[in-house]
Amino acid sequence: MAYEMLVLDIDGTLTNSKKEISKKTKEAILNTQARGHHIVLASGRPTPGIMPLAKELLMDQFGGFVLSFNGAKVINCNNNEVIFQKVIPLELLPEIYQAAIEEKVGIISYDDTSIITASEIDEYIEKESKINHMPIKAVDDFIAYINYPINKCLMTGEPKYLAKVEKRMKLRFGDKLSIYRSEPFFLEIMPLHIDKAHSLEKLLDTLHMSREQMISCGDGYNDLTMIQYAGKGVAMGNAQKEIQEAADYITYSNDEDGVAHVIDKFILV
């Protein structure tokens, strides 16, 4: 099988522990695009947190794709066309916010430039700000401020406690929203039926491609569906145990150029 599309999670996959793309990995990705293969960056990050990396990889020139908000939005980097998008029904926002208050966890969403919160700013909200290079905008009224379409909310908290919150949120909103953790301290609150695999299927349909032509690489819980869906699902050497068990192949870690190894082994052959 000739693989024509390479899908990459960002944190823990594309980037190393310093949140940087190594020289070796960058060169491998540029060579892949020069050979006519599609690159997709698929992340829980908001779109503004992904685009600088897409530009670093010249995806605007080669015509790559950004799948942001865990798949709630898919963009063509070449022309900024929105290929697919799904938003949280705004009528659910008051109940989502109230649930965060009751559970005593942080809650954020996003606008075009900032991370929006009315919560006390915890270390995990600060981490999200640092990862995406987006400032935190503290607002007095979360519900009143967000009067525009949003692709996701994010609850934050101590990992063991947030695991319990996840179960309660699924019971409370499971028929209305998709809820899962992307990191032990991040609980994604997503539009119903949205995950990376679902949105990649939409993208493949647009490009008249099949999943057998796709390799997906990831390390976290929110990468599981795309690793299971892809023609070849790859787990990083640093991936969660459950992700490695679900993968077709385990590559080197993100600090050992695991993505470059995948490219050399399966694409540029």
Are residues 104 and 176 both part of a single domain? Answer: yes
Residue 249 sits in a domain whose CATH number is 3.40.50.1000
Q: What is the mean pLDDT of residues 166-174?
A: 97
**The pair of three-digit structure tokens given for residue 191, joined into one six-digit string:** 């539009």
Helix or strand holding residue 260 (H, E): helix 258-262
Q: Does residue 38 carry a pLDDT above 70?
A: yes
Are residues 75 and 204 both part of a single domain? Answer: yes
Gap between the Cα atoms of 61 and 245, Å rounded:
36
Which domain-ending residue is among 155, 171, 191?
A: 191
* Exposed / middle / buried, residue 147 (Cβ in 10 Å: 0-12, 13-18, 19+): exposed
Which domain-ending residue is among 191, 217, 234?
A: 191
pTM of the model: 0.92
Are residues 40 and 156 both part of a single domain? Answer: no
Are residues 140 and 262 both part of a single domain? Answer: no
Kindly give, in sequence order, each residue whose CB lies less than 8 Å from that of residue 185, ignoring residues fewer than 6 positions away: 124, 127, 156, 157, 158, 159, 162
Are residues 74 and 124 both part of a single domain? Answer: no
Quick check: 6 and 38 in contact, CB under 8 A?
yes
What does the mean pLDDT of the chain come to? 96
Q: Does residue 73 carry a pLDDT above 90?
A: yes
Give the model's pLDDT for residue 84. Answer: 96
Which domain-ending residue is among 128, 156, 191?
A: 191
Q: Does residue 78 carry a pLDDT above 90?
A: yes
The percent of the chain in helix, strand and coil, each rounded to the nearest 5, is 40, 25, 35
Q: Does residue 1 carry a pLDDT above 80?
A: no
Residue 124 sits in a domain whose CATH number is 3.30.1240.10
Percent of the chain with pLDDT over 70: 100
Are residues 81 and 204 both part of a single domain? Answer: yes
pLDDT in tens, 204-219: 999 999 999 999 999 9
Give the model's pLDDT for residue 220. Answer: 92
Residue 19 belongs to what domain range?
Answer: 5-86+194-267
Give the pLDDT band of residue 269 (cuts 50, 70, 90): confident
Are residues 117 and 164 both part of a single domain? Answer: yes
Count CB neighbours of 30 within 10 A: 15
